[in-house]
């Protein structure tokens, strides 16, 4: 991992600078090919950095647009907004994430009662399912912490429709091991393959498609010939888009939680009185996080704390992740903080930790301020229907963000 994806902002910016000249027509024409872990020249590889906001979406958009203009860079621009769409869509339907976690717990509990299910699951995640390509991707994911987007779709389809395994167990496997594991993109991507996101529309992996887009590396046999959509069910009502809070001033501490590792562009105009880092990587799943995913998340947080400490002249502290509410209260009291300022995380473990901690913080006289990035404020209101409705708004969103 260290050689391919170093978890720091400098490496993310270097990767972005290297990719930007290829972010135009060449990317649009070749991005769907999975040439294998030895050749990723056709994709950006920026997703772990964007996921942890070591680099910001607007920085990636700006670099691509500067190099190619809006037409040639259009496909890459869309891919950046796909991530924003998924985040905004689930942010406005938080019941989706809660239902996923409840169903995951239910399926994990089945392992003790159903040895056959556990054996099939273990074979799949260990790369022993006996399916060409699928087994290779399972091993690649655990070894590298990353998969090509096309391979993620094929893998999910084979998991659901050929192996007949519960989709939530596959989504959990991805979320635990992907360096760019994101609750929204991952959960909704698996739901889309399964026919739950766009109801009635499933994604079926086909051997000839895999052979074409892996440049002949794989042509698996025995794949499901059909992908039956589940019975239609009502989606949760769409909530209004969230709004960021404003910080009017006062003695504050800056909390970094690993969801946003660019504190230099987040903090209020005067330095914090204290600086704390807490990770939420263990909150991704009841099962342990993968080594690569954990290493990247922890490295990104360390890098953010070091940069923030140097920028603000404040010693950084690293709290115990399992003690989120208690760690925040203790930190606030020791530093006589009136406010804790942090980046507003989207739906997921960090947001759940903050929600759980806030009542105790308020009782202790400490107010939590969640600052929202302009990118999210602009994009999330358009995540109320399908992505293609949002895509029509990309030109106006770029103007709102000062990128066009």
Please report the pLDDT score of residue 39 as a whole number: 95
Digit-coded pLDDT (tens) for 177-230: 999 999 999 999 999 999 999 888 999 999 999 999 999 999 999 999 999 988
The confidence band for 3, taking pLDDT boundaries of 50, 70 and 90, is very low
Widest distance between CA atoms in the chain: 64
Residues 6+ apart with CB under 8 A from 20: 63, 64, 66, 67
pLDDT at 2 over 50: no
- At residue 342, the 3 state secondary structure works out as strand
pLDDT, average across residues 360-388: 93
Which residues of the chain form CATH 3.40.50.620? 252-372
Reported as a single tens digit per residue, the pLDDT across 4-62 is 899 999 999 999 999 999 999 999 999 999 999 999 999 999 999 999 999 999 999 99
Cβ-count burial of 318 within 10 angstroms (0-12 exposed, 13-18 middle, 19+ buried)? middle
Q: Write down the CATH number for the domain with range 252-372.
A: 3.40.50.620
d(CA 77, CA 70): 8
User: Which burial class, exposed, middle or buried, applies to 285 when counting CB atoms under 10 A from its CB (0-12, 13-18, 19+)?
Assistant: buried
With cut-offs at 50, 70 and 90, classify the pLDDT of residue 235: confident
Residue 1: pLDDT over 50 = no
The whole-number pLDDT of residue 199 equals 82
pLDDT at position 200, please?
A: 83
Closest CA to 77 of 399, 391, 346: 391
User: Considering the domain 9-91+379-400, what is its CATH architecture?
Assistant: Alpha Horseshoe (1.25)
The per-residue pLDDT of the chain, averaged, comes to 95
Which distant-in-sequence residues (6+ apart) come within 8 Å of 235 by Cβ? 93, 96, 199
Do 158 and 132 touch, CB atoms closer than 8 A? no
CATH class of 95-213: mainly alpha
| CATH 1.10.579.10 intervals, the chain | 95-213
């Amino acid at each position: 991992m260290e050689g391919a994806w170093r978890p720091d902002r400098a490496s993310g910016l270097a990767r972005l600078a290297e990719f930007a000249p290829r972010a135009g027509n060449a990317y649009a024409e070749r991005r769907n090919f999975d040439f294998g872990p030895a050749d990723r020249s056709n994709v950006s590889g920026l997703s772990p950095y964007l996921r942890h906001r070591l680099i910001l979406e607007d920085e990636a958009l700006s670099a691509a647009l500067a190099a190619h203009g809006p037409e040639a860079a259009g496909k890459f621009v869309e891919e950046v907004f796909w991530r924003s769409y998924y985040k905004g869509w689930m942010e406005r339907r938080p019941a989706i994430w809660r239902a996923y976690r409840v169903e995951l717990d239910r399926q994990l509990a089945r392992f003790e009662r159903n040895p056959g299910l556990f054996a099939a699951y273990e074979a799949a995640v260990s790369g022993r399912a006996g399916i060409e390509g699928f087994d290779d991707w399972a091993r690649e994911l655990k070894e590298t912490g990353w998969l090509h987007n096309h391979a993620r779709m094929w893998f999910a389809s084979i998991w659901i429709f050929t192996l007949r395994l519960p989709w939530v167990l596959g989504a959990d496997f991805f979320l635990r091991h992907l360096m760019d594991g994101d609750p929204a993109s991952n959960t909704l991507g698996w739901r889309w393959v399964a026919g739950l996101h766009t109801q009635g529309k499933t994604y079926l992996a086909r051997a000839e498609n895999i052979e074409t887009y892996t440049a002949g590396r794989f042509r698996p046999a025995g794949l499901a010939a059909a992908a039956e959509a589940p019975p239609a069910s009502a989606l949760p009502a769409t909530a209004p888009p969230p709004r960021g809070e404003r910080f009017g001033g006062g003695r504050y501490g800056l909390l970094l939680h690993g969801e946003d590792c660019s504190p230099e562009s987040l903090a209020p105009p005067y330095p914090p009185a204290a600086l704390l880092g807490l990770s939420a990587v263990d909150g991704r799943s009841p099962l342990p996080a993968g080594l690569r995913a954990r290493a990247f998340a922890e490295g990104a947080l360390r890098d953010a704390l070091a940069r923030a400490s140097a920028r603000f002249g404040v010693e950084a502290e690293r709290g115990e992740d399992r003690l989120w509410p208690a760690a925040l209260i203790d930190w606030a009291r020791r530093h006589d903080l009136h406010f804790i300022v942090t980046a507003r995380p989207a739906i997921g473990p960090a947001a759940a930790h903050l929600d759980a901690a806030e009542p105790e913080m308020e009782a202790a006289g400490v107010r939590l301020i969640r600052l929202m990035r302009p990118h999210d404020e602009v994009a999330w209101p358009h995540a109320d229907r399908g992505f293609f409705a949002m895509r029509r708004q990309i030109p106006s969103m770029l103007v709102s963000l000062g990128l066009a």
